[in-house]
A and B are shown apart, each in its own frame.
Chain A
């Protein structure tokens, strides 16, 4: 038992608690420092994002560490113990490894497959590593977690396909146009979802942004935010002749653009393709417009159904990812268990070595004059005997078997090796 993961996330704690226990700014380093003060704690990494706060610890004594960590968190963040304990989860060893792998691979995220978490895990690890708060085991664990996440990214399609309406709109735009940076864009109206979509479009290269709002001042304000220009609402139809992508989100109770109007606009723009996203409810754009050649009109339901299918798709891919995690956890646990045997093997060898050296010295004192060649012959023979006797138990300890911990305990008792353990742990 050496790994402990504890923390809380969006599933176990409301935002009010997550805010309180966040390790933001200088708190991160203070937190690491505080954790390492605990006697049982040998290494620590802290991950603190808006959806989760988690502590990853290596310890020599799980029970002790558990108590220490909970007290520490409560004291450090000044949160009452019962309130904290309600939202905390704890994982040990195998489950801890699985949890780290799942978090890094974004299987535990609110939106499964979202790409940011891997970067956040990397940052958290790097931060602790550079300031030397981690341990050899934690280093190995995080490096493995990052590579597992990458493996899942390449072997499954968990991160493909947009799962939010605004992303879905951008993905669609990319399948209609090759290079968004050459395209002109107009926002009709305003609204949270619309503005989010505009930001995604800008992040994906859109440069030419126009905003038409019924209140001209509001339009100017928004245009400034997006480094674009404001257009008088009455003139938006003239502007459409030069616009390739439109997001419409006005509060109008009726259609503001009809099929025949769009037809004449298309003629004027020589039928260059137009992508219209109408996220207003009730709809503002006559749905018949989608029948015009080279016009692609999507309303909020269309986008939602795209998102729904993508979420379903991701769930299927997540199952594949879980299988990869299982496989990697098993491998990691084998490696970790083999670590248990190493100190015992070393101790056993030292034990034999000490006896051999002492006996050899005694023999040399008693045997009298012999030449170098004879002395070496005796030494070689004794070495061979020792090695041959030690060989079977060494193999047995290295072997991956279920009762290895029993074996280790037995050998320790038989040879009185218990007290030597600490010496070789470092």
Chain B
């Protein structure tokens, strides 16, 4: 059942991705609605899958790479709905759904077993710390997607290529504002994730900070976003610069998320 739900969610996300890519070339109210319906169904199935895993395993299902990838895409879809509802950004789905699908796909090829929580992770901090980190990372992922849309639209306006994609993309100001908004959602979440993580480390391992690779890279990521926010507020680094920075920031997030687990070993590694 768990597997069927996952596969079905994957299928619906895939369909939404196809519609999203097609929308880049030609879109109408009907295609936009279709994409939304597919995404909502996929999300419902996905939610059921996660809830089921939660009840079977008795803990938040983010204890191996399969679960982590899957949960991460779940967070992105959740945020996608929020942004879509709040700002009605044209074509956002075309940029978000492929990312969601890729995370789900990578999740689908990783081992899926539900294992009991290792003693190290058995703490109420576990849920709080990971949830904050995942939501923060999802916000950064969205910010990068919006940043990409900004760069595309900026290119069109600057180079005076005013084709049909230009017509359908939102205004530069909207994209820039949403980008800023997402980073200012993601940043406190990341900060809290680091704080709760270190408190947890103190109670479980006896010290706040141990320079575990994940910790180090989280800190690097954190500094990048400090810089993004500071540059915007103090020096007016908005628009193109902000868009590039949000993409760089997300690359750091990705490395913290995948790279650290796959290349560098530490107690954050899920792969045993």
Q: Is the CB of A174 within 8 A of B239?
A: no
B233 vs chain A, min Cβ distance (A): 9
Q: Is the CB of A293 within 8 A of B173?
A: no
Q: Is the CB of B167 within 8 A of A161?
A: yes
Cβ-defined partner of B174 (8 Å) among A172, A178, A267, A293: A178
- Rounded to whole angstroms, the CA-CA distance of A205 and B237 in the bound complex is 27
Q: Is the CB of B173 within 8 A of A172?
A: no
Q: Is the CB of B171 within 8 A of A294?
A: no
Chain A, range 183-209, C-beta contacts under 8 Å to B: none
Q: Which residues of B contact A118 (CB under 8 A)?
A: none
Q: Is the CB of B172 within 8 A of A176?
A: yes
Beyond A177-B171, A178-B173, whether A293 also contacts B162 by CB under 8 A is no
Q: Assess whether A306 is interfacial by the CB under 8 Å rule.
A: yes
Q: Is the CB of A293 within 8 A of B166?
A: no
Cβ-defined partner of A273 (8 Å) among B172, B235, B241: B172
Range, interface on chain B? 20 to 34
Cβ-defined partner of B239 (8 Å) among A161, A267, A294, A309: A294
Beyond A161-B167, A302-B160, A309-B162, whether A175 also contacts B238 by CB under 8 A is no
Q: Assess whether B63 is interfacial by the CB under 8 Å rule.
A: no
- Rounded to whole angstroms, the CA-CA distance of A269 and B236 in the bound complex is 8
Q: Assess whether B177 is interfacial by the CB under 8 Å rule.
A: yes
Q: Is the CB of A293 within 8 A of B172?
A: no
Q: Assess whether B49 is interfacial by the CB under 8 Å rule.
A: no
Q: Which residues of B contact A175 (CB under 8 A)?
A: 153, 157, 166, 169, 171-172
Chain A, range 246-299, C-beta contacts under 8 Å to B: 267, 269-273, 290, 293-294, 296, 298
- Rounded to whole angstroms, the CA-CA distance of A22 and B253 in the bound complex is 70
- Number of A-B pairs, beta carbon distance below 8 Å: 54
- In this complex, the member of A269, A273, A306 whose beta carbon has the largest number of chain B beta carbons within 10 angstroms is A273
Q: Assess whether B240 is interfacial by the CB under 8 Å rule.
A: yes
Q: Assess whether A160 is interfacial by the CB under 8 Å rule.
A: yes
Beyond A160-B167, A161-B167, A309-B162, whether A176 also contacts B157 by CB under 8 A is yes
Q: Which residues of A contact B170 (CB under 8 A)?
A: 178
Residue in chain A with minimal CB distance to B163: A309
Q: Which residues of B contact A271 (CB under 8 A)?
A: 236-239
Q: Which residues of A contact B238 (CB under 8 A)?
A: 270-273, 294
Contact with A along B54-88 (1 / 0, CB 8 A): 00000000000000000000000000000000000
Q: Is the CB of A306 within 8 A of B162?
A: yes
B15 vs chain A, min Cβ distance (A): 25
Q: Assess whether B158 is interfacial by the CB under 8 Å rule.
A: yes
Chain B, range 146-195, C-beta contacts under 8 Å to A: 153, 157-158, 160, 162, 166-167, 169-174, 177
Residue in chain B with minimal CB distance to A310: B162
A210 vs chain B, min Cβ distance (A): 21
- Rounded to whole angstroms, the CA-CA distance of A272 and B157 in the bound complex is 16
Residue in chain A with minimal CB distance to B174: A178
A268 vs chain B, min Cβ distance (A): 10
Contact with A along B32-43 (1 / 0, CB 8 A): 000000000000
Chain B, range 90-123, C-beta contacts under 8 Å to A: none
- Rounded to whole angstroms, the CA-CA distance of A306 and B157 in the bound complex is 11
A80 vs chain B, min Cβ distance (A): 49
Q: Is the CB of A176 within 8 A of B171?
A: yes
Contact with B along A139-172 (1 / 0, CB 8 A): 0000000000000000000001100000000001
Chain B contact residues, majority secondary structure = helix
A157 vs chain B, min Cβ distance (A): 9
Q: Which residues of A contact B239 (CB under 8 A)?
A: 271, 273, 293-294
- In this complex, the member of A172, A178, A267, A296 whose beta carbon has the largest number of chain B beta carbons within 10 angstroms is A178
Q: Is the CB of A272 within 8 A of B162?
A: no
Residue in chain B with minimal CB distance to A303: B160
Residue in chain A with minimal CB distance to B236: A270
Q: Which residues of A contact B162 (CB under 8 A)?
A: 172, 306, 309
- Rounded to whole angstroms, the CA-CA distance of A287 and B9 in the bound complex is 51
Q: Is the CB of B167 within 8 A of A273?
A: no
Q: Is the CB of B157 within 8 A of A178?
A: no
Residue in chain A with minimal CB distance to B175: A178
Q: Is the CB of A296 within 8 A of B157?
A: yes
- Rounded to whole angstroms, the CA-CA distance of A161 and B162 in the bound complex is 10
Chain B, range 237-252, C-beta contacts under 8 Å to A: 237-241
A179 vs chain B, min Cβ distance (A): 8
A349 vs chain B, min Cβ distance (A): 47
B217 vs chain A, min Cβ distance (A): 30
A167 vs chain B, min Cβ distance (A): 13
Cβ-defined partner of A298 (8 Å) among B160, B166, B241: B160
A356 vs chain B, min Cβ distance (A): 56
B127 vs chain A, min Cβ distance (A): 38
Q: Which residues of B contact A161 (CB under 8 A)?
A: 167
Contact with A along B251-270 (1 / 0, CB 8 A): 00000000000000000000
Q: Is the CB of A273 within 8 A of B173?
A: yes
- Rounded to whole angstroms, the CA-CA distance of A177 and B157 in the bound complex is 12
Q: Which residues of A contact B172 (CB under 8 A)?
A: 175-177, 273
Q: Is the CB of A294 within 8 A of B240?
A: yes
A300 vs chain B, min Cβ distance (A): 13
A46 vs chain B, min Cβ distance (A): 37
A146 vs chain B, min Cβ distance (A): 21
Q: Which residues of A contact B173 (CB under 8 A)?
A: 176-179, 273
Beyond the given pairs A176-B157, A302-B160, 7 more chain A to chain B contacts, judged by CB atoms under 8 angstroms and listed by A's residue number, are A178-B174, A179-B173, A269-B236, A271-B239, A293-B239, A293-B240, A294-B240
- Report the 4 A-B pairs with minimum CB-CB distance, sorted nearest first: A270-B236, A271-B236, A178-B173, A178-B174
Could you list 7 A-B pairs, sorted by A, with CB under 8 Å? Answer: A174-B171, A175-B157, A270-B235, A272-B236, A273-B239, A293-B239, A302-B160
